[in-house]
Amino acid sequence: MARVLVMIPAGEVYDHDNVRWYKHSDIQRSIDHYHNIGDAFVFESSLKLMNYEKVAELPIAGPPMEKIDQLREEYDYVILRGSNYINREMNWRDTIPVLKRLGLPVIAFGVGAQAPVKGQLELSEESKAVWRLIADSATSVGVRGAYSAQVLNDIGIKNVRVIGCPTAFRRNNQHLRIKLPALDTVKKVGVTVRREVSPTYAQDIQRYLTLHRDLIKEMANRFDITLMAQGEVEEKKMVFGTGEQKEDAIAALKANRWVSDWYFDDAIEKLYRERMYYSDVVADYETLVRAHQLVLGYRLHGNLMALANGVPSIYFTYDSRTAEFAETYKIPSYDVFGGKPFRLEDYWDQSLFDQYNRAWFETYGEMNIFLTENGVDHKMTETGRRASDAARRVA
């Protein structure tokens, strides 16, 4: 089986293909640090698609070149986990000399671009050089959707395949389908929370936050809800903080004008104190979503983790990234800036989820082809899964 290097990992690997945040048991170490655990979802899901013997990080910030020579002899290829890496602000550090020295294929695994609210996305010359280098090293570049493919095409990169995100396929089951239960039987609902937002990508912050607030309150009035955070500091403190840290978090939320005016009222504060969930361990989120009958809201990967486990999800799209995912998979989605009120009943329609089921199945096939054409030993076929099971039994 393959030996794999990872560019820009998002957490530490344990038990072969599981991921958690670094030193996750030391809560206070990172309680004041924002890291999006959704990145770890993607990292872990990438590992779960592959058969491999060992995995290690490829350093791209000032490594000694003799170390790179050693890695070339010990590993077979590099994966770059899916994220918003096609952007103008990306600091690639020493990626160009490292990849040139390494000389191994780089498998870009569901990467994406994000359009600004105004104007066109303009990549730096450094970013263009990195993406051309990556594209030249492999048979194809895997992107999450059509917009990301177009951005690369515009800089002359043609060997692009739309593969969505590894998180969607983490169970390696091409027969997975979403089947809606009767809405009146739904009791437990997860609401994925993204309170922080950039005006660079979301066109109307007031609309974004007030609708977010109203969604949480409406779901709380109808269902037994869990608020699913993914790393914002104040939300994290509501779960892991000391009593003093929790009160500091509440005070910080109230001191933020946007948040206090448009989002954080008394009802939301009560729900934050009683219903907030966060973990630094990806497996905990998978267990959580399996205990719910619906997950919906603003978090791309929190929603996708639910869909990957056969749990219905509805996306709230507010930027090109969330819209691109919803389009790739035909996920039932509500446009935050579309002006229409949100009614859950409008989306509780099996025909909508059948469109998703078909698109998901087709994209599963594209991911399968992508890994195969790039020489990645994987589990997405029955043969691959059997080989993986046999290797584990021998081990």
List pLDDT tens digits, range 79-108: 999 999 999 899 999 999 999 999 999 999
Dihedral sign, CA of 224, 38, 347, 215? positive
What domains, with CATH codes, occur in the chain? 2-171+360-394 (3.40.50), 183-348 (3.40.50)
Would you give the distance in Å from CA 109 to the centre of its chain? 12
Please report the pLDDT score of residue 1 as a whole number: 83
> Does the structure show a pLDDT above 80 at 385?
no
Q: Which two tokens stand for residue 91?
A: 């600091």
> Does the structure show a pLDDT above 80 at 389?
no
> Does the structure show a pLDDT above 70 at 395?
no
Nearest to 198 by CA among 122, 258, 254, 278: 258
> Does the structure show a pLDDT above 60 at 5?
yes
Q: How many CB atoms lie within 10 A of CB 32?
A: 11
Contact (Cβ atoms closer than 8 angstroms) between residue 271 and residue 220: yes
3-state secondary structure of 53: strand
Q: For the whole prediction, is pTM greater than 0.75?
A: yes
3-state secondary structure of 377: coil
Task: Tell me the CB-side half-sphere exposure of residue 395, using CA atoms within 13 A.
Answer: 12
| Ordered alpha helix ranges (H), 79-166 | 95-102, 125-137, 146-154
Mean pLDDT of the region 133-146: 98
Q: Long-range contact list for 341-345, CB < 8 A, 24+ apart?
A: 342/211, 342/215, 342/218, 342/316, 344/183, 344/222, 344/314, 345/183
> Does the structure show a pLDDT above 90 at 348?
yes
Nearest to 37 by CA among 359, 299, 377, 338: 299
How would you classify residue 54: left for phi > 0, otherwise alpha for psi between -120 and 50, otherwise beta? beta
| Beta-bridge mates of residue 189 | 225, 294
> Does the structure show a pLDDT above 90 at 393?
no
Q: Which residues contact 177 (CB under 8 A, 6 or more apart)?
A: 310, 357
Going through the chain in order, the beta strands assigned E by DSSP cover 2-7, 12-14, 18-20, 52-57, 77-81, 106-111, 141-143, 160-162, 188-192, 224-228, 276-277, 294-297, 313-317, 333-335
Q: Which two tokens stand for residue 226?
A: 């869990």
Q: Which two tokens stand for residue 111?
A: 């990467």
CA distance 238 to 272: 7
pLDDT band at residue 140 using 50, 70 and 90 as cut-offs: very high
> Does the structure show a pLDDT above 90 at 119?
no
Q: Which two tokens stand for residue 367?
A: 């991911």
Contact (Cβ atoms closer than 8 angstroms) between residue 308 and residue 170: yes
Nearest to 89 by CA among 114, 62, 58: 114
**Helix (H) or strand (E) run with residue 346 in it:** helix 344-347
- At position 241, the amino acid (one-letter code) is G
- Give the C-alpha distances (Å, rounded to integers) separating 9 from 56, 148, 359: 9, 21, 28
CA distance 10 to 19: 8
Nearest to 308 by CA among 323, 329, 336: 329
> Does the structure show a pLDDT above 60 at 340?
yes
Please report the pLDDT score of residue 382 as a whole number: 77
Mean pLDDT of the region 38-48: 98
CA distance 238 to 277: 8
Q: Which two tokens stand for residue 88?
A: 């103008």
